[in-house]
Chain A
Amino acid sequence: MLSRLNFLAALIWLTSSVFGQTQPSVIARLPLTTRAEIIARAHRLANHTWVCSAPNLHASCSKSYSSDWKTGQQVTGIPYSWGGIDGPEDFDRKLAKGLAAGGHSRYGVLSCTTGIDCSGFVTYCWGIPLSSHAYGTSTLREIAGKPKYNWFTDMKPGDVLNKPGSHVVLFTGYNPDGTINVCEASGSAARVVCRKTTWSRFKGYIPLEYKGIDE
């Protein structure tokens, strides 16, 4: 009986040490960043101004693609592109090469478009290198924890509101009327925007706090 218990205890220890190590190692590799840096990155993407040229209206790799923009249009905000992870420098470079500006899920993930999507946006703001689209709304929990504070009063700029499988936005502050300010890569707005919004928009969302915050 005792040996069986010993065996069980050893098994539990072994399992926890094997599976428990992946999470800390991921967190240990996360770049540290301050909340001010997160908000500055968000505003940089939301305020990035660009002009849509004729080649940027067409996606060479998609028959169904339709652009949100017009030729010569000056736009503020990196365009929304489903599956995209482009920061301002990559976006400008790809735009100059003639890639299509932005795209939606109805056209699929396209290699011939440039822009950023909702989870790409928050991970960019958190300072995570964008060599690959490593985290989506369903996997953000690996690098961001559910805070224990009161969600309605104690969120801090740089936290996010996440609905796994659907959407994620970056929280930037509360307003005197009780509404909140967020920045997001929005499909319906076709670009990165910062705006004031009511809470009802976020029913079912869960706040998350990036694990690499340098407080």
Chain B
Amino acid sequence: MIRRYRVLSFVLFCGLVISSSGDEPARPQAELRLIPLTRTVRIPVSMQEIQPTGKIPLGDPATLMVSPGAQDEPPEGPAAFDVLDDGSFLISDPLRNSVSVFDSRGKFRQAWRIGFAADSVTVGANGLILVREASTGQLHAFDLQGKLRPSEAAALPQAAEARVLTGNSGTVTVPPIGSAGGRTIEVRLDKPGLRLLSIEGLGTDSQGNTYVALETTTGGEETEGINLNKSVRKYAANGVLVCEVTDIPLDYYVTPVDELRVRKGILYQLMTGSSEVRINVWDMN
């Protein structure tokens, strides 16, 4: 009786092994590629000071200007940027009412004296630069030489529509581009202990890859105040997750309006500090 039972158990065990190996072929799960920081572009800043005469010197034009802030007033300074196709940067310099151009290594090229403080800079698909006036919200269009163009042409690109569905899932609906129709990408957060806070579509490149920023948190009642993580994912045109940049630094001195930009598969982050403006660069190609 015992022997029969042992034989039966052996047969059942073998059956289980065969069925499980047949159901799920032993293929290794593709590892998500994590992208490390590629480089950092550093641009010096001038701290705004008022002289005893009451004058505020504009300082070296090759730098960007920040204000020190005060009790109940955060520091002000460059909070907006975008990247041209050749990798050079357009950065707002609101305390000087200008937009400055730096090459891809951070070398100063020129300053556009636009006459107002800008809080957003966007390189449009039609080659125009759209600059938003901080104090009115009005969009102004400039060409690549910094000349003002008719503002009728000023229209921001259509943004992707994102939706958080649960604490670990959501969707991003990419608007139609040219002849390509729109599509919806499913976003899943499979990291135990992390909760999905927000989803933001950053754009789609010419190959159809879509870049999505995620904000996540471990909780909601921290004693040290709100704490969160930010990451950016690249999804292929078929919706497959390709790679990810994790743990984007968030210790801002001047809070950015244009926090992240993607150009030609490269992710850029604007971080304005008290001594320099850093642009963190991750190559997601």
Interface pair A176/B164, CB less than 8 Å apart: yes
B126 to chain A, nearest CB (A): 25
Tell me if A151 and B220 are in contact (CB < 8 A). Answer: yes
A98 within 8 A of B: no
Task: Assess whether B250 is interfacial by the CB under 8 Å rule.
Answer: yes
Q: Is B59 on the interface with A (CB-CB < 8 A)?
A: no
Once the chains bind, are A189 and B135 in contact (CB under 8 Å)? Answer: yes
Q: From residue A145, how far is it (CB to closest CB) to chain B in Å?
A: 13
> Which of chain B's residues have a CB closer than 8 A to the CB of A161?
226
The verdict on B72 contacting chain A, using a C-beta distance below 8 Å, is yes
Taking each of A76, A203, A206, which has the highest tally of chain B beta carbons within 10 Å of its own beta carbon? A203
Could you tell me the distance in whole angstroms from the C-beta of A134 to the nearest C-beta in chain B?
13
Q: Which residues of B contact A204 (CB under 8 A)?
A: 224-227
A152 touches B225 (CB 8 A): no
**Nearest opposing residue in chain A for B164, CB measure:** A178
Chain B: interface residue total (CB-CB under 8 A): 50
What B residues does A117 contact at CB under 8 A? 72-73
| Nearest neighbor of A74 in chain B, beta-carbon distance | B136
CA distance A153 to B167 in the complex (A): 10
Residue of B nearest to A67 (CB): B135
The segment from B7-15, B36-44, B50-58, B102-110 that touches chain A is B50-58
- Please judge, given known A-B contacts A106-B48, A152-B195, A205-B225, whether A167 and B135 are in contact too, CB under 8 Å: no
In the complex, are the beta carbons of A68 and B117 less than 8 A apart?
yes
B48 and chain A: residue at smallest CB distance: A106
B70 at the A/B interface (Cβ < 8 Å)? Answer: yes
Within 8 A of A (CB), among B34-84: 48, 50, 53-56, 67, 69-74, 76, 79
Could you say which residues of chain B place their CB within 8 Å of the CB of A91? none
Q: Are A203 and B250 in contact (CB under 8 A)?
A: yes
**A105 x B225 contact (CB < 8 A):** no
Query: A119: nearest residue on chain B (CB-CB)?
Result: B72
- Nearest chain B residue, comparing its CB with the CB of A118: B72
Nearest CB of B to A9, in Å? 31
With A64-B55, A119-B72, A204-B224: A152-B197 Cβ-Cβ less than 8 Å: yes
Partner of A167, one of B73, B198, B224: B73
Which chain A residue lies CB-closest to B163? A176
- Pick the residue among A63, A168, A178 that contacts B215 (CB under 8 A): A178
A179 CA to B227 CA, complexed, in Å: 15
- Contact code string A174-196 (vs B, CB < 8 Å = 1, else 0): 00111100000001111101000
Give 27 A-B contacts (CB < 8 Å), ordered by A residue. A73-B136, A75-B135, A104-B67, A104-B76, A105-B70, A106-B48, A106-B70, A117-B72, A117-B73, A150-B221, A152-B197, A153-B220, A165-B71, A166-B69, A168-B72, A176-B164, A177-B162, A178-B196, A178-B198, A178-B215, A179-B200, A190-B117, A198-B198, A199-B198, A203-B226, A203-B227, A204-B227
The 10 closest A-B pairs by CB, nearest first: A63-B54, A178-B198, A105-B70, A150-B220, A64-B54, A177-B162, A178-B164, A190-B135, A105-B73, A204-B225
> Using a CB–CB distance below 8 Å, which chain A residues touch chain B?
62-64, 66, 68-69, 73, 75-76, 82, 104-107, 117-119, 136-138, 148-154, 161, 163, 165-168, 176-179, 187-191, 193, 198-207
